[in-house]
Amino acid sequence: MRGACVAGLVMTLSSSTLAGQQAPGTARDDARAATLAPAAWLAGCWEAASATGRSITEEQWMPPSGGLMVGMSRSVRDGTARGYELLTIRAGDDGGLVYRAAPSGQAVTDFPARSIEPGRLEFVNAEHDFPKKIVYTRLDESLTEAAVFGEVDASEPAFTLRYRGVSCPVH
Protein backbone atom coordinates (compact mmCIF):
# COMPACT_ATOMS: atom_id res chain seq x y z
CA MET A 1 0.00 0.00 0.00
CA ARG A 2 2.84 2.39 0.88
CA GLY A 3 4.32 1.94 -2.63
CA ALA A 4 0.99 2.84 -4.25
CA CYS A 5 0.75 6.01 -2.13
CA VAL A 6 4.29 7.05 -3.04
CA ALA A 7 3.68 6.33 -6.74
CA GLY A 8 0.45 8.36 -6.65
CA LEU A 9 2.23 11.26 -4.92
CA VAL A 10 5.04 11.22 -7.49
CA MET A 11 2.56 11.18 -10.37
CA THR A 12 0.58 14.05 -8.80
CA LEU A 13 3.72 16.12 -8.19
CA SER A 14 5.05 15.41 -11.68
CA SER A 15 1.76 16.37 -13.32
CA SER A 16 1.37 19.56 -11.29
CA THR A 17 5.00 20.53 -11.81
CA LEU A 18 4.75 20.07 -15.57
CA ALA A 19 1.34 21.69 -15.89
CA GLY A 20 2.75 25.20 -16.15
CA GLN A 21 5.71 24.23 -18.33
CA GLN A 22 5.95 23.72 -22.04
CA ALA A 23 6.58 20.25 -23.37
CA PRO A 24 10.12 19.43 -24.55
CA GLY A 25 10.76 20.39 -28.16
CA THR A 26 8.81 23.63 -27.96
CA ALA A 27 9.95 26.98 -29.32
CA ARG A 28 11.18 27.99 -25.85
CA ASP A 29 13.38 24.86 -25.60
CA ASP A 30 14.68 25.49 -29.12
CA ALA A 31 15.54 29.09 -28.19
CA ARG A 32 17.42 27.98 -25.06
CA ALA A 33 19.38 25.40 -27.07
CA ALA A 34 20.29 28.06 -29.66
CA THR A 35 21.39 30.41 -26.87
CA LEU A 36 23.84 27.81 -25.56
CA ALA A 37 25.26 26.98 -29.00
CA PRO A 38 28.09 29.59 -28.76
CA ALA A 39 29.34 27.88 -25.56
CA ALA A 40 29.23 24.30 -26.90
CA TRP A 41 32.95 24.38 -27.80
CA LEU A 42 33.74 24.38 -24.06
CA ALA A 43 32.30 20.85 -23.62
CA GLY A 44 34.92 18.26 -22.76
CA CYS A 45 37.85 17.86 -20.41
CA TRP A 46 40.56 20.45 -19.92
CA GLU A 47 43.77 20.51 -17.89
CA ALA A 48 46.18 23.30 -16.90
CA ALA A 49 49.50 22.29 -15.31
CA SER A 50 52.11 24.52 -13.72
CA ALA A 51 55.60 24.57 -15.26
CA THR A 52 56.87 22.32 -12.44
CA GLY A 53 53.91 19.95 -12.72
CA ARG A 54 53.26 20.30 -8.98
CA SER A 55 49.92 22.05 -9.56
CA ILE A 56 47.16 20.89 -11.88
CA THR A 57 43.74 22.41 -12.47
CA GLU A 58 41.17 20.25 -14.26
CA GLU A 59 37.91 21.50 -15.70
CA GLN A 60 35.18 19.36 -17.26
CA TRP A 61 32.03 20.53 -19.07
CA MET A 62 29.04 18.51 -20.20
CA PRO A 63 27.63 19.49 -23.62
CA PRO A 64 24.51 21.67 -23.73
CA SER A 65 21.28 19.84 -23.01
CA GLY A 66 17.97 21.06 -21.65
CA GLY A 67 19.13 24.69 -21.66
CA LEU A 68 22.11 23.93 -19.40
CA MET A 69 25.81 23.07 -19.43
CA VAL A 70 27.20 21.58 -16.22
CA GLY A 71 30.87 21.82 -15.30
CA MET A 72 33.28 21.20 -12.49
CA SER A 73 36.80 22.19 -11.64
CA ARG A 74 39.42 20.82 -9.26
CA SER A 75 42.83 22.25 -8.32
CA VAL A 76 45.47 19.87 -6.95
CA ARG A 77 48.91 20.80 -5.63
CA ASP A 78 51.45 18.19 -4.58
CA GLY A 79 48.79 15.49 -4.68
CA THR A 80 46.32 17.32 -2.40
CA ALA A 81 43.10 18.95 -3.57
CA ARG A 82 43.27 22.69 -2.81
CA GLY A 83 39.94 23.76 -4.23
CA TYR A 84 36.97 22.79 -6.35
CA GLU A 85 34.17 24.53 -8.13
CA LEU A 86 30.75 23.45 -9.37
CA LEU A 87 29.75 25.39 -12.48
CA THR A 88 26.85 25.88 -14.87
CA ILE A 89 26.20 27.90 -17.98
CA ARG A 90 22.51 28.32 -18.70
CA ALA A 91 20.27 30.25 -20.99
CA GLY A 92 19.05 33.28 -19.04
CA ASP A 93 15.52 34.63 -19.07
CA ASP A 94 16.74 37.63 -21.11
CA GLY A 95 18.03 35.40 -23.91
CA GLY A 96 21.69 35.67 -22.87
CA LEU A 97 23.94 33.25 -21.01
CA VAL A 98 24.55 33.07 -17.26
CA TYR A 99 27.66 31.48 -15.72
CA ARG A 100 27.03 30.24 -12.16
CA ALA A 101 29.91 29.33 -9.86
CA ALA A 102 29.91 27.63 -6.46
CA PRO A 103 33.60 27.55 -5.45
CA SER A 104 34.72 25.15 -2.69
CA GLY A 105 31.35 25.25 -0.96
CA GLN A 106 31.12 29.08 -0.90
CA ALA A 107 28.06 31.07 -1.87
CA VAL A 108 26.74 30.62 -5.39
CA THR A 109 27.40 33.60 -7.68
CA ASP A 110 25.89 34.37 -11.09
CA PHE A 111 27.89 36.11 -13.82
CA PRO A 112 25.67 37.20 -16.75
CA ALA A 113 27.35 37.21 -20.16
CA ARG A 114 28.51 40.64 -21.26
CA SER A 115 29.92 39.43 -24.55
CA ILE A 116 29.35 36.27 -26.59
CA GLU A 117 31.50 35.87 -29.68
CA PRO A 118 32.64 32.80 -31.61
CA GLY A 119 35.25 31.14 -29.39
CA ARG A 120 35.00 33.79 -26.66
CA LEU A 121 32.66 34.07 -23.67
CA GLU A 122 32.85 37.01 -21.24
CA PHE A 123 30.91 36.86 -17.96
CA VAL A 124 30.68 39.81 -15.54
CA ASN A 125 29.36 40.48 -12.05
CA ALA A 126 30.57 43.93 -10.97
CA GLU A 127 29.00 43.49 -7.50
CA HIS A 128 31.01 40.35 -6.64
CA ASP A 129 34.14 40.73 -4.50
CA PHE A 130 36.43 38.52 -6.61
CA PRO A 131 36.39 37.75 -9.41
CA LYS A 132 34.34 40.36 -11.21
CA LYS A 133 34.97 39.07 -14.73
CA ILE A 134 35.71 35.64 -16.23
CA VAL A 135 36.66 35.24 -19.90
CA TYR A 136 36.94 31.90 -21.71
CA THR A 137 38.75 32.05 -25.05
CA ARG A 138 39.21 29.17 -27.46
CA LEU A 139 42.74 29.49 -28.81
CA ASP A 140 42.51 26.45 -31.08
CA GLU A 141 40.91 22.97 -31.18
CA SER A 142 42.88 21.74 -28.16
CA LEU A 143 43.74 24.93 -26.26
CA THR A 144 41.44 27.14 -24.18
CA GLU A 145 42.27 30.02 -21.87
CA ALA A 146 40.33 31.11 -18.78
CA ALA A 147 41.23 34.65 -17.68
CA VAL A 148 40.04 35.78 -14.24
CA PHE A 149 39.82 39.52 -13.52
CA GLY A 150 39.61 41.37 -10.21
CA GLU A 151 38.02 44.40 -11.87
CA VAL A 152 35.52 44.53 -14.71
CA ASP A 153 37.55 46.90 -16.88
CA ALA A 154 41.05 45.74 -15.90
CA SER A 155 43.37 45.39 -18.88
CA GLU A 156 45.26 42.45 -17.32
CA PRO A 157 43.74 39.45 -15.56
CA ALA A 158 44.57 38.59 -11.95
CA PHE A 159 45.49 35.15 -13.29
CA THR A 160 45.08 33.02 -16.38
CA LEU A 161 44.71 29.29 -16.80
CA ARG A 162 45.77 27.88 -20.16
CA TYR A 163 43.91 24.61 -20.58
CA ARG A 164 44.80 21.89 -23.02
CA GLY A 165 42.15 19.45 -24.13
CA VAL A 166 42.56 16.00 -22.59
CA SER A 167 40.65 12.74 -22.80
CA CYS A 168 37.85 12.57 -20.30
CA PRO A 169 38.53 9.85 -17.74
CA VAL A 170 36.29 6.80 -17.88
CA HIS A 171 36.41 4.21 -15.11
Q: In this predicted model, what pLDDT tens digit does every residue of 80-93 receive, in sequence order?
A: 999 999 999 999 88
Residue 60: inside a domain: yes
Residue 70: inside a domain: yes
Helix (H) or strand (E) holding 151: none
> Cα–Cα distance between 150 and 134 in angstroms, integer?
9
| pLDDT over 90, % of the chain | 74
Count how many domains the chain has.
Answer: 1
Residue 102 belongs to what domain range?
Answer: 43-166
Nearest to 71, CA basis, from 57, 55, 56, 52 = 57
Whether the per-residue pLDDT at 128 is higher than 50: the answer is yes
CATH number, position 78? 2.40.128.20
Q: Is the pTM of this model over 0.85?
A: no
Bridge partners of 154, per DSSP, are: none
Residue 134: inside a domain: yes
Which has more confidence, 16 or 58?
58
Task: Classify residue 23 as left (phi > 0), alpha (psi -120 to 50) or beta.
Answer: beta
Distances (CA, A) of 53 to 42, 70, 166: 24, 27, 16
Residue 33: inside a domain: no
Whether the per-residue pLDDT at 30 is higher than 70: the answer is no
Encoded amino acid at 171, one letter: H
Q: Vertex 31, ends 95 and 107: CA angle to 5°?
A: 50
